[in-house]
Amino acid sequence: MTAQLTEPATRAWQADPYADALRAGQGPLYLRRHDGWLLPLEVERWCAEPDAADATVLARCTGPVLDIGCGPGRLVAALAGLGHAALGVDVTPEAVARTLRSGGSALCRSVFDALPREGDWGTVLLMDGNIGIGGDPGALLRRAAELTAPGGSLLAEAATADVDERVEVHVEDGAGGRGASFWWARLGTRALCDAAQTAGWTLYGTWQAAGRHFVHLTR
């Protein structure tokens, strides 16, 4: 089941519109639902230095840190600069290349593949909407629990809206470039907390910063 969930999304995120946007360090880039709804992707923020909201996440990280879906690696590089052992994983080669160029460490693979230090990460990150990976938050949260050390933390970013949806989407650049369809999820704070508790996590707290919403869970 894991492979069925992750392989189409892996191919989609390796598609040219996303990789091209990362190379350029800017959008426009969107997730488009089949009914035409568009979700703008914040490529410029992902490729910039960590902002004030990111700083609230970095301050909560303890021990070695695994960033799932690290993108161009702003958090991984910042964590390394703070003295953490930090690793990013991402299915997009260009994302991993940017992370390495920024001074971070990263592997080009799915979170559902075998990873270093399984069961020994002090903090696991799911930022920038990455709770949506695979379109099955329950499976992703259970996998995150396998990766996290007993007593460790999961810091996850929730959607700003009170939403709980699993939808088929594709990446597009607004100029005709588009990737393959894949399943994605969007969860607001309430839905993310409910899914996490079902997956065996304990809610430690929630917070907001610069208009973004976050959840702190413990194993």
Residue ranges covered by each domain of the chain: 2-218
In one letter, which amino acid is 172? E
Query: What pLDDT was estimated at residue 3?
Result: 35
Query: What pLDDT was estimated at residue 1?
Result: 33
With tokens 């799932």, the residue in question is 68
Instruction: Please give the structure tokens belonging to residue 43.
Output: 């490529």
Query: What pLDDT was estimated at residue 212?
Result: 98
Give the Cα-Cα-Cα angle 212, 138, 97 (nearest 5 degrees).
60
Structure confidence by residue, pLDDT tens digits, 174-195: 888 998 899 999 999 999 999 9
Which residue in 113, 161, 111, 106 sits closest to 137, CA to CA?
A: 111
* Mean per-residue pLDDT over the chain, rounded: 93
pLDDT at 5 over 50: no
Give the Cα-Cα-Cα angle 39, 42, 48 (nearest 5 degrees).
175
Give the Cα-Cα-Cα angle 80, 82, 86 (nearest 5 degrees).
30
Share above pLDDT 70 across residues of the chain, in percent, rounded to a whole number? 93
pLDDT at 27 over 90: yes
Instruction: Please give the structure tokens belonging to residue 197.
Output: 């508790």
Sort strands 164-172 and 182-187 into parallel, antiparallel or unpaired: antiparallel
Segment 130-152 shows an average pLDDT of 98
Query: What pLDDT was estimated at residue 9?
Result: 52
Tell me the three state secondary structure of residue 176. coil
Segment 56-75 shows an average pLDDT of 98
pLDDT at 2 over 80: no
Cα–Cα distances (Å) from 212 to 56, 183, 192, 215, in that order, read: 11, 23, 14, 11
- 182: β partners: 169
Q: 2-218, which class in CATH?
A: alpha beta
